[in-house]
Amino acid sequence: MNDSRLEQAFVWAKDQYQGMGVDVEAALQSLSRVPLSIHCWQGDDVTGFESNRATLAGSGLAVTGSYPGRARNAAELRQDLDKALSLIPGRHRVNLHAMYGELGAKLVDRDAIGPEHFKGWLDWARERELGLDFNATLFAHPKAQSGFTLSSTDESVRRFWVEHVRRSREVSAFLGRELRSPCIHNLWIPDGAKDAVVDRWERRSLLRKSLDEVFATTHPVTEMKDSLESKLWGIGSEAFVVGSHEFYMGYALSRGLLLCLDLGHFHPTESVADKVSAILQFSGELLIHVSRGVRWDSDHVVVFDDALRELMSEVVRADVLSRVHFALDYFDASVNRVAAWVIGARATLKALLAALLEPNARVRELDQTGRLALVEQAKTMPYGAVWDYYCVRAGVPLEQDWMADVRRYESEVLSGRS
């Protein structure tokens, strides 16, 4: 579609929305101010750069597929991220796991990582004016093979992981301070049991003790913010997850920390959107991991589906967009990894745009019958034309064009990786 036809379509769509009381330009301005935190681990199948890593098996994670072109080192991973970011409208952030430090030839275990191991990421982000977020990595390690980390009854193992999280928070504060943008440090642990659970109280008491020790050290909120991520169940923790939603909600709210809601970490019939207005009554901010479960928390590539649209609508309707942080969290090795980033990020932004274009002010003036009718009418409004115009304005390809760019990159760059 040429520029003149795009312009015409946008003007027509803008007029249609104006008839419903929606300010399209205001919606686009709001969208442009929302940064997504793009997860680095989609680019290498949650492999990382350590020499002593263990298998993901038993850690509640599973990455399937063997699509060619996986990033093998930090330089390749950053190269792939550059390509993905060039195809996503807006200014965004990059989310790191501790296992992606550049450790050099020396063996550095996770309880010894420091800011110096993330200097390459810092320089790259600073040059591109990107913010960075961070995650402690409590899986794929010999000391995580028992299925318990911060709740381990082995004191030496528990202390190891406490020190790792403490150092991960120091790295987060360093990155946030250097980039002058608060780094969100998110904590998820795989701790749980497959069957025959008799020690729930003991494990959760140990987790609480570990968290108290970790958070005894504070960092300025201008440098970093802490969040805690729950899970309903995982592979190897089907019967019991120590860090459940109820546990972390109680801990986070009582300690003034952020709660992280992952779209794939709840029961398939449970609405994550419904939790937003409940939690933000008592918490200043919220982190949402945008993911997609299929039958279970399988971390599928995010698409523009009903669950995502419902979530974004709730955030906008509650007028809490400035209090919610969005981070992508999925990993699929069965498809082109750069395309996976772009598909998920663009789907998330499209869902948010659709929510920003809802006639919420007018809906609130109506009775229940009128609301139902107007909400249904809004579903067929021409938000696609607004999205296309936003992409052109941002200097990125349209929906029908960006995949050709990825295919060229696959042919010229990814195909050369063994």
- Which residue among 191, 297, 332, 358 is the active-site one? 297
Q: Which residues contact 306 (CB under 8 A, 6 or more apart)?
A: none
Residue whose tokens read 């968290």: 211
Token pair listed for 340: 């996976």
- Which residue among 164, 231, 325, 350 is the active-site one? 231
Token pair listed for 227: 């969040």
Residue whose tokens read 């498809």: 335
- Which residue among 92, 164, 245, 265 is the active-site one? 265
Please name the amino acid found at residue 157: V
- Asked about 262 being catalytic, the answer comes back as yes
Nearest to 92 by CA among 272, 341, 267: 341
Q: Which residues of 59-86 are buried (b: 16+ CB within 10 A; e: fewer)?
A: bbbebeeebebbbeebebbbbbbebbbe
- Which residue among 329, 332, 358, 410 is the active-site one? 329
Alpha-carbon distances, residue 362 vs 143, 365, 378 (angstroms): 56, 5, 11
- Which residue among 124, 161, 188, 233 is the active-site one? 188
374 exposed, middle or buried (CB, 10 Å; 0-12, 13-18, 19+)? middle
Strand partners, 289: 262, 327
CA 204, CA 241: separation in Å to the nearest integer? 9
- Which residue among 83, 141, 289, 300 is the active-site one? 289
- Which residue among 299, 332, 388, 410 is the active-site one? 299
Q: Which residues contact 353 (CB under 8 A, 6 or more apart)?
A: 27, 28, 31, 383, 386, 387, 390
Alpha-carbon distances, residue 29 vs 88, 156, 316 (angstroms): 16, 51, 14
- Asked about 194 being catalytic, the answer comes back as no
- Asked about 119 being catalytic, the answer comes back as no
- Asked about 329 being catalytic, the answer comes back as yes
Strand partners, 296: 294
Whether the Cβ atoms of residue 300 and residue 293 lie closer than 8 Å to each other: yes
Residue whose tokens read 């990455």: 63
- Asked about 231 being catalytic, the answer comes back as yes
For the chain, how many residues are written?
418
- Asked about 109 being catalytic, the answer comes back as no
- Which residue among 44, 80, 178, 229 is the active-site one? 229
- Asked about 219 being catalytic, the answer comes back as no
CA 402, CA 332: separation in Å to the nearest integer? 19
Active site residues: 188, 229, 231, 262, 265, 289, 297, 299, 329
